[in-house]
């Protein structure tokens, strides 16, 4: 049985990871953590997830006596950076879906991947990861005459914009057509700003409790091709993360993503 630890155990993703991991009976939750001072500290992870008492209390740090194979991290950048060196020191594989990392933080993740296996993805949905391949194919096939716009919608509580998934979609397109994301992407528009040839427009909406919607529009004079994905529940991401956790067990150090898990790269 795979021994996992869950960071951000009281968060929306953390609770569902715990719930589905317990229900699957293929995982042993060895530890669950939350930020220092959080009201969930000391609570049972199973009760917190709404599936009954499990016998593991939420703590602020990864207990020294906890035997962990994989740490699953859907927290904030500061949380990821807190546990990254812990995983590196204790040789624990890391699954992380944290977005909004700075360039220096991302460099630290890449450096750590020289010593432990790390699977990092902006989105753990199987459908989205297939979509990353699809938009690259569409962009290459349609060619440069088509304008490209990426639009995403998430819940009102999401902190970063555009979403990590929207950026991943744009980067996939850029890689497919030989462009640089930093030079190509335009974040929103305002005032008089006519569209420039070759740019990729990035647009973010924050509405209510929307789980996640992404659409990529390819438009020319005469037609528009739209490729889209809607997540109806966070369980979509949780199932992908648990699938990734099972896959990464026993892997060599390296920086992996969901394309590797699905055999798409």
Contact between 83 and 107 under an 8 Å Cβ cutoff? The reply is no
Local structure of 55: helix, strand or coil: coil
- The answer to whether the beta carbons of residues 120 and 111 sit under 8 Å apart is no
User: Do the domains 126-231 and 2-120+234-261 match in fold?
Assistant: no
Q: 150: closest CA among 228, 257, 231, 258?
A: 228
Check if the beta carbon of residue 240 is closer than 8 Å to that of residue 72: no
CATH code that applies to domain 126-231: 3.30.360.10
Q: Provide the CATH topology of domain 2-120+234-261.
A: Rossmann fold (3.40.50)
pLDDT tens digits along 48-72: 999 999 999 999 999 999 999 999 9
* pLDDT at 265 exceeding the cut of 90: no
Average pLDDT over residues 111-122: 96
Q: How confident is the model at residue 123 (pLDDT cuts 50, 70, 90)?
A: confident
Give the sign of the dihedral formed by CA 259, CA 261, CA 262, CA 265: positive
Q: What pLDDT, on a 0 to 100 scale, did the predictor assign at position 249?
A: 86
Whole-prediction pTM: 0.82
- Domain ranges (residues) in the chain: 2-120+234-261, 126-231
Please give, one letter per residue, the 3-state secondary structure of 239-261: HHHHHHHHHHCCCCCEEECHHHH
> Which residues carry out catalysis?
154, 158
User: Taking a C-beta distance cutoff of 8 angstroms, is the pair 210, 153 a contact?
Assistant: yes
């Amino acid at each position: 049985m795979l021994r996992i630890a869950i960071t951000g155990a009281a968060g929306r993703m953390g609770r569902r990871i715990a719930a589905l991991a317990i229900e699957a009976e293929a995982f042993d939750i060895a530890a669950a953590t939350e930020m220092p001072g959080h009201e969930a500290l000391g609570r049972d992870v199973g009760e917190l997830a709404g599936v009954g008492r499990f016998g593991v209390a939420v703590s602020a740090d990864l207990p020294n006596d906890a035997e962990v194979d994989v740490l699953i991290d859907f927290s904030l950048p500061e949380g990821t950076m807190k546990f990254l060196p812990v995983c590196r020191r204790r040789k624990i594989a890391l699954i992380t879906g944290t977005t909004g990392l700075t360039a220096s933080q991302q460099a630290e993740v890449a450096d750590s991947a020289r010593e432990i296996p790390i699977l990092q993805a902006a989105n753990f949905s199987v459908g989205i990861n297939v979509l990353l391949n699809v938009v690259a194919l569409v962009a290459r096939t349609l060619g440069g005459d088509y304008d490209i716009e990426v639009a995403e919608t998430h819940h009102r509580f999401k902190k970063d914009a555009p979403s990590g998934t929207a950026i991943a979609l744009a980067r996939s397109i850029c890689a497919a057509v030989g462009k640089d994301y930093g030079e190509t992407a335009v974040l929103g528009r305002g005032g008089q700003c006519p569209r420039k040839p070759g740019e990729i427009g990035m647009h973010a909406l924050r509405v209510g409790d929307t789980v996640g919607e992404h659409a990529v529009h390819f438009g020319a004079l005469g037609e528009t091709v739209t490729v889209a994905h809607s997540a109806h529940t966070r369980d979509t991401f949780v199932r992908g993360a648990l699938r990734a956790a099972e896959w990464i067990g026993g892997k060599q150090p390296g920086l992996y993503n969901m394309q590797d898990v699905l055999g798409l790269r």
